[in-house]
């Protein structure tokens, strides 16, 4: 009996000791639960400025010279009209990189600013009125679309018919042509030439690379003529 009494007394003391520890623990300040971080949406990337809703392109491997060549004062030949796109039946629209490849395939290169000026100043040059189409913000977003190519080329076709151009003289202001001299970040469209009475041109709307494009720029005005290498 005495053994059982000792055991019971020990058990009672142990139980009281555990209760006391729990009471102290519950009275002690507990660390605040860590706030759960709420997932935040990733920041939206800022959109790059757009010049076209749907920038389309001619195939640089199929564009060709539909008309003949003239001669510069240097003796180099040049295409009398821009390269032609057989798939769309329009003047070809190429970015600077594509134009380089297309011209190289034909043994040609980009013309310089001076060569473009010389062509426009020839007495036999047929200088069209510029077919500018961008008048609103929405127009600027459609510059690279086939719809705008075709609108531009209908304007050109009407003038060719009215002027009686037969393909044997330089045709000027069919868009703005890529000019030689691009670097890694810039390329240059040169034109349109504005005709003056009596022949030649009075001014150039986009002159001497006034507005730099990147080498992937392509729109309804980016046409291509070439000069012999």
The backbone torsions φ and ψ at residue 126, rounded to the nearest 5 degrees and listed phi first, read -100, 105
- Position 197 scores a pLDDT of 87
- Position 34 scores a pLDDT of 43
- Position 173 scores a pLDDT of 97
Question: For the purposes of burial, counting CB atoms within 10 Å of the CB of 88, is it exposed (0-12), middle (13-18) or buried (19 or more)?
Answer: middle
- Position 111 scores a pLDDT of 97
- Position 41 scores a pLDDT of 33
Q: Does residue 170 contact residue 124 with C-beta atoms inside 8 Å?
A: yes
- Position 38 scores a pLDDT of 31
Task: Determine the length of the chain.
Answer: 229
- Position 53 scores a pLDDT of 56
Query: Strands 69-71 and 77-79, how do they pair?
Result: antiparallel
- The 3-state DSSP class for residue 216 equals coil
Instruction: Report the distance separating Cα 112 and Cα 151, nearest Å.
Output: 28
- Position 20 scores a pLDDT of 42
Q: Does residue 219 contact residue 148 with C-beta atoms inside 8 Å?
A: yes
Put residue 148 in one of left, alpha, beta given phi > 0 → left and psi -120 to 50 → alpha: alpha
Q: Does residue 159 contact residue 219 with C-beta atoms inside 8 Å?
A: no
The tokens 């507005």 sit on which residue? Answer: 211
- Position 28 scores a pLDDT of 44
Q: Which of 163, 216, 174, 194 is nearest to 90 (CA)?
A: 174
Q: For the chain, list residues with pLDDT below 70.
A: 1-55
Q: Does residue 87 contact residue 77 with C-beta atoms inside 8 Å?
A: no
């Amino acid at each position: 009996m005495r053994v059982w009494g000792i055991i019971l007394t020990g058990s009672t003391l142990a139980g009281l000791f555990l209760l006391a520890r729990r009471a102290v623990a519950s009275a002690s300040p507990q660390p605040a639960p860590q706030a759960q971080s709420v997932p935040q949406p990733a920041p939206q990337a800022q959109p790059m400025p757009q010049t076209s809703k749907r920038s389309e392109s001619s195939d640089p491997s199929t564009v060709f010279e539909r008309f003949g060549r003239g001669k510069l004062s240097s003796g180099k030949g040049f295409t009398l009209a821009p390269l032609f796109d057989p798939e769309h039946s329009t003047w070809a629209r190429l970015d600077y990189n594509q134009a380089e490849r297309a011209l190289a395939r034909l043994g040609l290169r980009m013309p310089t600013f001076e060569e473009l000026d010389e062509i426009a100043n020839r007495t036999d040059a047929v200088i069209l009125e510029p077919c500018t189409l961008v008048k609103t913000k929405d127009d600027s977003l459609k510059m690279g679309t086939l719809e705008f190519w075709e609108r531009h080329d209908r304007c050109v076709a009407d003038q060719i018919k009215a002027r009686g151009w037969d393909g044997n003289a330089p045709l000027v202001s069919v868009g703005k042509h890529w000019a030689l001299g691009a670097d890694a970040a810039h390329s240059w469209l040169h034109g349109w030439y504005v005709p003056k009475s009596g022949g030649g041109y009075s001014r150039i709307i986009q002159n001497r690379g006034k507005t730099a494009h990147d080498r992937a720029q392509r729109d309804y005005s980016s046409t291509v003529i070439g000069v012999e290498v």
